[in-house]
Amino acid sequence: MSDPERPEARPYRSTSGMEIHTVYGPRELADFDTADALGVPGGYPFTRGIHADGYRARPWTMRQYAGFGSAAETNGRFRYLLDHGQTGLSVAFDLPTQIGYDSDDPMALGEVGRVGVPIDSIDDMEILLDGIDLAEVSTSMTINATAAILLTLYETVARRRGTDPRRLQGTIQNDILKEYIARGTYIFPPEASMRLVTDTFGYCRAELPAWNTISISGYHMREAGSTAVQEVAFTVANAIAYSEAAIAAGLAFDEFAPRLSFFFAAHNDLLEEVAKFRAARRVWARIARDRFGAREPKSTAMRFHVQTGGSTLTAQQPEVNVVRTSVQALAAILGGAQSLHTNALDEALGLPTPASARLALRTQQVLYNESGITATVDPLGGSYYVEVMTNEIEERVLNEIAAIDARGGTLVALADGYQQDAIGDAAYEQQMAVESGARIIVGMNAYVDTGEELGPEPQRIDAALEASQVERTRALRARRDGAAAEAAVADLERAAAGTENILPRIRSCVAASVTLGEISHALRRVWGEHRP
């Protein structure tokens, strides 16, 4: 009989819609072989992490995403962050760079340096990396459609400095499928884009063996409104598509799989997020072994970067974003991430200032040095609730992947709009929950301050930097060897029309001071552009 003095508890659900019980115990795990699924840290199926000693031997890589204004301005921010304890670079590129336009292209007007750094040429890349030891730092570049170009620019700078490319460590995102699904910064049709991806796999195997050739990203799908389950399922389905394409291009799975990496978001549902990361590792380990016949342990171990959720930040009461970011960073660490970016409190207002970026970095440093959560590996392992949630997320993810397979795979499903529609539906449901008050957002639909709210002054971009960048790019074209540049572009177009790996041709263009926009336009002439 219910207590008349106590109202019936409303049903609780995770952000992915999973019902959450009042309490968990052995009964909820009785039908599941938890010991087999758990394994041990550093061992298959990696539920408890890919390293036996967790963070005891070394911390995760602490990255802060930066890029704005100009290469020189961004280089200054990189040096600032490295001086304050950052252990890896993470480069944000402006929109023209992401979609293959130089800064002096009419299409770039007003966008140069606004949401990232403009990189038109080898000169820009040299300025961006000035004074940074590329043999010692790990660099992540969030770039997709033009990833191959940015990679060869980075490599060429290293070669000019005498750095052995085999020592270069870092990651290019290079995940074009999620652009068609959720983000939109694509250039070429999917088939041509997939060729660029697999050519990059082959090129790095020979030239940059320590480089991560792709960061298969669920982050942008989560930011677009997907659930945690959809984030993992669509990301792993994309990984399956890339793997199948690479195998079709003649690569063996164990030749490229150890250099695959993944990229996820961390949102506010702390324990669901922890379970999500644990389930994601288990799903990939089993697919790599059972579907692709992986023999190398590194081929089955999912390595991933996490960024805290930009879409969870509010312009209202922006100081509260520090709390949100701390919760999300905690989820990433308890979930066993290999690297982490923490968003700054003012990112709902604009690009972060140096002070807010430093505070975001300090958040990671406090968690590592002061919280005690890194003293043992997988501290939440064995929690009835976390294990049940891990199991349920795994089951739902596998069901979603099976549904994509039944539609003909990722490329067919995205052409039909399957993933896009599913994410749109999830985003709609979340927004309705916020508007109805069923989902509380502190400072937005509850605990609202009625007084004037003045957040921190956002980072300002000097409008003169765009004119300066345009002039730099035009001056480069005027002083370069025009005949050598034209010959390099012609060789690139011939390669693109054929079947050879085109990255050596792109590198030749870069060395001849051909610009990113000119390289992209050459490929457009051969492959065309994607029109959804």
Q: Could you tell me where in the chain the CATH 3.20.20.240 domains are found? A: 23-61+143-156+187-436
pLDDT at 460: 73
Q: Is the pLDDT of residue 56 over 80?
A: yes
Residues 6+ apart with CB under 8 A from 509: 485, 488, 489, 492, 518, 519, 522
pLDDT tens profile 82-121? 888 887 888 999 999 999 999 999 999 999 998 899 999 9
Q: Are 513 and 474 in contact (CB under 8 A)?
A: no
Run of H or E residues at 12: strand 12-13
pLDDT at 221: 97
Alpha carbon 172 to its chain centroid, in Å, reads 9
pLDDT tens profile 435-474? 999 999 999 999 998 765 666 777 677 788 999 999 999 9
pLDDT-derived band at 1 (thresholds 50, 70, 90) equals: very low
Give the dihedral sign, CA 373/374/377/378: positive
Q: Is the pLDDT of residue 50 over 50?
A: yes
Tokens for 338? 């290999």
Q: Is the pLDDT of residue 31 over 70?
A: no
Q: Is the pLDDT of residue 4 over 50?
A: no
SS (H, E, C) 299-359: HHCCCEEEEECHHHCCCCCHHHHHHHHHHHHHHHHHCCCCEEECCCCCCCCCCCCHHHHHH
Put simply, whether the predicted model's pTM sits higher than 0.75 gets the answer yes
Give the dihedral sign, CA 150/156/157/162: positive
Tokens for 198? 């697999």
What CATH number was assigned to the domain covering residues 23-61+143-156+187-436? 3.20.20.240
pLDDT at 9: 53
